[in-house]
Amino acid sequence: MTIKVLTMKEDILGANDAKAKANQERLDNLRILTINVMSSPGAGKTSLITNTIRKMPSAARIAVIEGDVASSIDAERVQQLGVPVVQINTAGGCHLDARMMAEAMDNLPMEKIDLLFIENVGNLICPAEFALGEHKRVIILSIPEGDDKPYKYPLMFTEADVILVNKSDLQPYTDFNVDAFHKAVKGINPKAQIFHISCKTGDGFDDWLKWLRAEMKAKKGKS
């Protein structure tokens, strides 16, 4: 008897992509710039988001979707800044998906948002495979993780619009090779912009915020 093999991954991703497209249409209609922030655990996703909220003009209406396997620790940090936030707990899942994203948006004041951050689950593999409806993908790599990660996790870095090298204040204490890292990234994704930042000291945030403001302006300018 011949065994029938089902390619379930393709089916799952196909359904997810359709939902992601619907999510993006909803965001486009409201002119909300949506940023999917991805990284390994501890690289600085929440610190990036909270520092960005503090440094952006008060007129910028920001909201956050927090994704974690469990707990609401990061969402509580965001909420303390007076920003609307929804927590998604995946109960063991290694990434967010477009259905989760849609449900989260249903629990946010969408008519009052200009910029929406999605903090994905800490993982350098699965989140890159699942579109959520975002407009831009931002990858954070921290200096202690090493400069070889583009070789080990190529899909994540290939999909990135912006790569933020965080914890730059630790660089003097590591063997992180900046030139080698840039060469690796540009070899697989020449269009990616790379900014070196420190969420601890604030170094490099001017370039990141300049990029973010330009993207927000472009989104508002589209009909």
Q: Is the residue at 3 inside a domain? A: no
- Domain annotation covers residue 210: yes
Residue 5's pLDDT is 52
* CA distance to 99, 109, 147, per residue, from 136 (Å): 18, 21, 23
Look at residue 77 in the predicted model and tell me its pLDDT.
96
Angle, in degrees to the nearest 10, between helices 8-30 and 98-105:
30
- Domain assignment present for residue 1? The answer is no
CATH number for the domain including 143? 3.40.50.300
Count of domains for the chain: 1
- pLDDT of amino acid 7: 43
What is the predicted pLDDT for the residue at 170?
Answer: 98
* Predicted pLDDT at 221: 85
The reply to whether 2 falls in a domain is no
- With respect to residue 149, please indicate whether it lies within any of the assigned structural domains: yes
Provide the CA 219 distance to its chain's centre, in angstroms: 17
Classify residue 116: in a domain, yes or no. yes
In tens digits, the chain (223 residues) has pLDDT values of 665 454 444 567 889 999 999 999 999 999 999 999 999 999 999 999 999 999 998 889 999 999 999 999 999 999 999 999 999 999 988 999 999 999 999 999 999 999 999 999 999 999 999 999 999 999 999 999 999 999 999 999 999 999 999 999 999 999 999 999 999 999 999 999 999 999 999 999 999 999 999 999 999 886 4
DSSP secondary structure, 150-196, as one string:
HHHSHHHHHS-SEEEEE-GGGGGGS---HHHHHHHHHHH-TT-EEEE
Domain of residue 174 covers: 8-221
Query: What pLDDT does 8 receive?
Result: 43
130: in domain: yes
3-class state of residue 66 by DSSP: strand
In a domain, 67, yes or no: yes
Beta bridge partners of 85: 64
